[in-house]
A and B are shown apart, each in its own frame.
Chain A
Amino acid sequence: MIVLAIYIAIFCAAFIVVRFVISKIRVRRDFTSLKTVTFGDESAVRPDRWASFLSVLTLFCLWGAFTGSDWVPFHAPGPFVGDTQFTYTMEAPDGARDDATVHARVFPAGEKGDPQDVAPGDGFAKDDSIALAAWRSDLLLMDKNDEFTRKDGAKVVAIDGQPVSPGSRIEVANGTVAVTSKGSLNFVPDPGMQMEPIWLPSPEAVVARVKEISVRGYQNFTLWEHLYWSLFRVIVGFLCGAIVGIPLGYAMGLSGWFRGWFDPIVEFMRPVPPLALIPLVIIWAGIGESGKIILLFLAALWIMAISARAGVSGVAISKVHAAYSLGASRWQVLRYVIVPNSLPEIFTGARVAMGVCWGTVVAAELVAAEKGAGMMIMVASRFQLTDVVLMGIILIGVIGFSIDILMRKAEDWLVPWKGRT
């Protein structure tokens, strides 16, 4: 909740700053900047690069600040670390009361150490000393060293002077103390507002893990091998799908028989999400490479076939007529008119198919695989290795995004006439 509020606050502040400060310095002079109607003209809405930069920076800083990263200069209040103490009041069976002090030493998360040496002090309740790590709690059997124990009928009646009974919870310095139903004390040091590494590791931990896994590997394969195998499956599956799907789509767009024959199959398979095929593919082909590639082939096939078919039906009839009346044969019409004219559609389909394949391969590896990005994060999550999981997710996102950018670049290069007819 707090994080969301901070995020919205940063969003608004950055907007105001960039809008009124930076825009004054940087004056754009191009055609779009001269448009007066921008609200509603989609082509005039250009992503503000400052906003993109700040958006990524904000996410990174929030991540760092709430995980206590060394890379970020400011932090959310961390968990309490250091020495603290509280007192409890013990009531003996005969009604006599005595105070004792509990010295707690809280180590940084993940570290261990010895409690302080303390003198037992006077009275029948003796002082205690405990040691624990941040974000953990410690059940304190305070009466172990006392002259009267709970067995004798002694009980804690107050903490830091405030009266307590079993079940109550008291704020003490740097933490809270709860009285359990059995009458012992549970000390929880202040957790602060940062995330525990097991939920959200800090950026440097993730980077360190990248380095470690890229050298030493995880689950018998290095990071790059895991990613390579995922990419390899996607590319092979996608290429197979495209090699079969595009001619199939053309045939469906050009011949009534093909369209009639394959329409029911394509239309039926299209709405079936490839993820739903995973179990069947595992039954048929096991969890090896062929199963993955069959799955990705099926994922890409229908998308490519449909986009090739749409590409054929998108050809202006006058172009086809013109080609025929210039003496082109059927084959030449296909080669010089229909194929080039359908390229934009095919590229759009290929981008979608690549995205779907990438998502599907990760999902398939989550279910069952010996290697691959999805398998890596799935196994890591079983061992609560959140940094590996996070790293995997980030790299999967980065790769998916890069694939899309590459496809877009290829499209600009191969289909320069797109959208300009």
Chain B
Amino acid sequence: MSKLSINNLSMRFDLPNGSFVQALKDVSLEIESGELMSVLGPSGCGKTTFLNILAGFLSPTEGTVTLNGHAVTGPSAERGMVFQQGALFEWMSVRDNVSFGPRMAGRKKKDYMDNVNHLLDVVGLQDFKDKSVYELSGGMQQRVALARCLANDPDVILMDEPLGALDALTREKMQGLVLKLWKETGKTIILITHSVEEALLLGQRLLVMAPRPGRIHKEYRLPFAAAGVGKDLRVVKRDPEFGEKREEILSMIWDMEEEIMGRTEEAKA
């Protein structure tokens, strides 16, 4: 159904001083419909750049992205995006934010309102639907952002550290919510995170990227996301295999960071 193919993607930022940053180099990947893939990597390895290309906000210097067989050239409603924070429209109520996509598409109110109400129920904001966005807490705002994206019924949902700005407890609850929504809707989700635990918990596939140039370092297929749906995520975390994987990936990222440091020292010397 909605298959996302990424072929030999490279992205190069030319800087004004004549040098350049190779943010991505030769990234190739196939993502099947309904997959939940998390992306990890040290800071600056090109994760956001990767996601922006998938969303269509940037065109790559080389390579192509195709969704369901046609090329991605710009943003579109079939690829929804959830940002870290600050992307809600403060001048609209919670309900108007959630129903933004259908309204822009010109659909009739009675056609989409049921779905919007259902989504507000799912994210637990039915009581807040007439409130302004700025009256909500950070966690509530992220739930609005999730609901807004889902109300538009995209084929692929792209998330750039959607839970990064939340406290640990809220974050855990939201992780459960993401899993639940994934199971319920069967969407293809690509989720960038800085947290190894989150990547393990939520990623059916896990992509570890390496910096300079940004590239795919290693890929895992994990059982935790499928097993975790509807369960207490802390039980999942106590699984010895989970612990093992976490250690493995953490030390992998540490090694990368050290390599970067080493290279910077060399460059100086």
Contact = CB atoms under 8 A, between A and B. Distances in A.
Contact of B83 (A318, A336, A341, A421): A318
Contacts of B81: 321-322, 325
Interface string B129-141: 0001110000000
17 contacts: A316-B86, A318-B83, A321-B55, A321-B57, A323-B100, A325-B76, A325-B80, A325-B154, A326-B100, A326-B148, A327-B104, A336-B104, A341-B91, A417-B91, A417-B134, A421-B86, A421-B134
Interface string A304-348: 000000000000101101111111110010001100110100000
A321 B134 contact: no
A318 B148 contact: no
Contacts of B56: 325
A160 to B, nearest CB: 81
Given A340-B91, A417-B91, A421-B86, A325 B105 contact: no
Given A326-B80, A326-B148, A417 B75 contact: no
Interface residues of B, number: 31
9 smallest CB-CB distances across A and B, nearest first, come from: A327-B77, A324-B75, A417-B90, A340-B91, A326-B101, A318-B87, A322-B87, A420-B134, A325-B81
Given A325-B158, A326-B149, A417-B91, 10 more contacts: A318-B83, A321-B55, A322-B148, A324-B76, A326-B77, A326-B101, A326-B104, A332-B104, A336-B104, A337-B89
Contact of A420 (B88, B90, B104): B90
A47 interface: no
Nearest to A420: B134
Interface string B56-67: 110000000000
Q: By CB atoms of chain B within 10 A, which of A327, A340, A343 has the most?
A: A327
A113 interface: no
Contacts of B55: 321, 325
Q: By CB atoms of chain A within 10 A, which of B84, B87, B148 has the most?
A: B87
Contacts of A323: 89, 100, 104
How big is chain A's contact interface, by range? 20 to 34
Q: Is the interface of A mostly helix, strand, loop or mixed?
A: helix
Contacts of A415: 91
A322 B81 CA distance: 6
Q: By CB atoms of chain B within 10 A, which of A318, A323, A326, A340 has the most?
A: A326
B79 interface: yes
Contacts of B104: 323, 326-329, 332, 336
B86 A318 contact: yes
B204 interface: no
Interface string A282-294: 0000000000000
A416 interface: yes
Nearest to A335: B104
B152 interface: yes
Interface of B: 55-57, 74-77, 79-81, 83-84, 86-91, 100-101, 104-105, 132-134, 145, 148-149, 152, 154, 158
Contacts of B145: 322
B207 to A, nearest CB: 21
Nearest to A418: B90
B79 A325 contact: yes
A322 B83 CA distance: 8
Contacts of A421: 86, 90, 134
Nearest to B85: A318
A236 B88 CA distance: 36
Interface in A60-93: none
Contacts of B88: 319, 322
Given A321-B55, A326-B100, A336 B86 contact: no
A421 to B, nearest CB: 5
B75 A321 contact: yes
Nearest to B81: A325
B89 A336 contact: yes
A343 B92 CA distance: 14
B158 to A, nearest CB: 8
Given A318-B83, A325-B55, A332-B104, A340 B77 contact: no
Given A321-B57, A322-B81, A323-B100, A316 B76 contact: no
Contact of B76 (A327, A336, A337, A340): A327
B66 to A, nearest CB: 17
Contacts of B84: 318
Contacts of B154: 325
A210 to B, nearest CB: 43
A325 B91 contact: no
A337 B87 CA distance: 10
B112 to A, nearest CB: 12
A329 B80 CA distance: 15
A343 B91 CA distance: 10
Contact of B89 (A321, A340, A416): A340
A84 to B, nearest CB: 74
A255 to B, nearest CB: 18
Given A416-B132, A417-B91, A417-B134, A325 B77 contact: yes
A89 B104 CA distance: 103
Nearest to B158: A325
Contacts of A316: 86-87
A312 to B, nearest CB: 15
Contact of A336 (B100, B133, B158): B100
Contacts of B133: 417
